[in-house]
A = this chain, B = another copy of it.
Amino acid sequence: MTAFADSTGAAVDADGIDAEAALEHKERVGSVGEADAAAALGADYDCLVEATPTTLGDAHPGFEHVEAALERDRHVVLANKGPVAERYDDVMALADAGAGEVRFEATVGGAIPVIATIEGMDPSHVTAARGVLNGTANFVLSRMAAEGLGYEHVLAEAQDLGVAEADPTFDVDGTDAALKCAILANVLHGGGYSLDDVDVQGIRDVPSSALELAAEDGRTVRLIGEVTADGDVRVGPRLVTEHDTLAVTGTQNIVQLETTNAGRLNISGRGAGGPETASAVLADVGRLPER
């Protein structure tokens, strides 16, 4: 690691940065180093890991970070969904124009290797994808069903447990799952999708009575995101049978891929978390060609 930035500062050293020391500096001073955060972008590196928070629309400033790296023929690994959900075509045009590659396994399904699996099968052999892509919403729905509790109660509990953020809007309104679906649609169809193309419905309005009715029928409700065989992209609460493969519990994520030659593939695991995201980022770094 030759450069390491947070929102207020950066450590830059072409001879390598000691991660422990940088983190200790952040603990003590509030930033990972004394340099200007922007200085990290000009550093000497082979691969930029872009992990600033996801933003919508122009995906600023993540997009500009990606742009700066690709224009210098550097590789980019994204943990930030914005650039590939909202500006996929722009990102790929920049990558095509230079020698750098862009990878983004960490943006969909946390540690689950969804993108690599699609890539391995060849996107043209994957006809549809669906799954549970937001752990917070899934935690809320599974707790509501298991305990017969209302949405507001379970959400507050999830916030206490650190499973839901103080502002859970992105998760419970389906925006986070929709961004992931836009990314999957871009991978399956070679681009063309952004959040605007996703039909999104969240879980705020799912009453506990609906979960009770579903349970009487051996079913439950999950927030399912999908890219259909027709290329439609949607996210919303759906009825699934109680022991369906899609009915993962807690903060688990699952992705189902429909393939032309290998039937249905299911991949499930932890969809979020620091180590999980780091694991996906490092897997992507390992897949990059030598510069």
A264 within 8 A of B: yes
| CB atoms of B112 and A265 under 8 A apart | yes
A97 within 8 A of B: no
| CB atoms of B269 and A265 under 8 A apart | yes
CA gap between A261 and B277 in the complex, in Å: 9
Residue ID in chain B nearest A121 by CB atoms:
B283
Known contacts A117-B117, A243-B243; A263 and B270 CB within 8 A of each other: yes
A259 within 8 A of B: yes
Q: Which of A243, A265, A282 has the most CB of B within 10 A?
A: A265
| CB atoms of A279 and B117 under 8 A apart | no
CA gap between A7 and B17 in the complex, in Å: 58
A265 cross-chain contacts in B, Cβ below 8 A: 111-113, 267-269
Bitwise, A252-291 to B at CB < 8 A (1) or not (0) is: 0000000101111111111000011011101100110000
A287 cross-chain contacts in B, Cβ below 8 A: 120
New contact pairs (7) apart from A262-B276, A264-B269, CB-CB < 8 Å: A110-B262, A111-B261, A112-B265, A113-B120, A113-B121, A263-B269, A265-B268
CB distance from A282 to the nearest CB of B (A): 8
Instruction: Please give the residue numbers on chain A whose beta carbons come within 8 Å of chain B beta carbons, in ascending order.
Output: 110-113, 116-117, 120-122, 125, 243, 245, 259, 261-270, 275-276, 278-280, 282-283, 286-287
A283 cross-chain contacts in B, Cβ below 8 A: 120-122
A286 cross-chain contacts in B, Cβ below 8 A: 120, 122
Residue in B110, B116, B262 whose CB lies within 8 Å of A270: B262
A262 cross-chain contacts in B, Cβ below 8 A: 110-111, 269-270, 275-276, 279-280
CA gap between A270 and B279 in the complex, in Å: 27
Known contacts A269-B263, A276-B263; A113 and B117 CB within 8 A of each other: yes
CB distance from A10 to the nearest CB of B (A): 25
CA gap between A261 and B287 in the complex, in Å: 18
CA gap between A111 and B280 in the complex, in Å: 22
Nearest 10 Cβ contacts at the A-B interface: A111-B262, A261-B279, A265-B269, A262-B279, A261-B275, A120-B283, A263-B270, A266-B268, A243-B243, A262-B276
CB distance from A104 to the nearest CB of B (A): 14
A282 cross-chain contacts in B, Cβ below 8 A: 122
Q: Which of A269, A276, A280, A286 has the most CB of B within 10 A?
A: A269
CA gap between A28 and B270 in the complex, in Å: 52
Instruction: Name 21 interchain pairs, CB-CB below 8 A, sorted by A.
Output: A111-B261, A111-B263, A116-B116, A116-B117, A116-B120, A120-B283, A121-B283, A243-B243, A245-B268, A261-B276, A261-B278, A263-B269, A263-B276, A264-B269, A264-B270, A265-B267, A265-B268, A265-B269, A266-B266, A266-B267, A267-B267
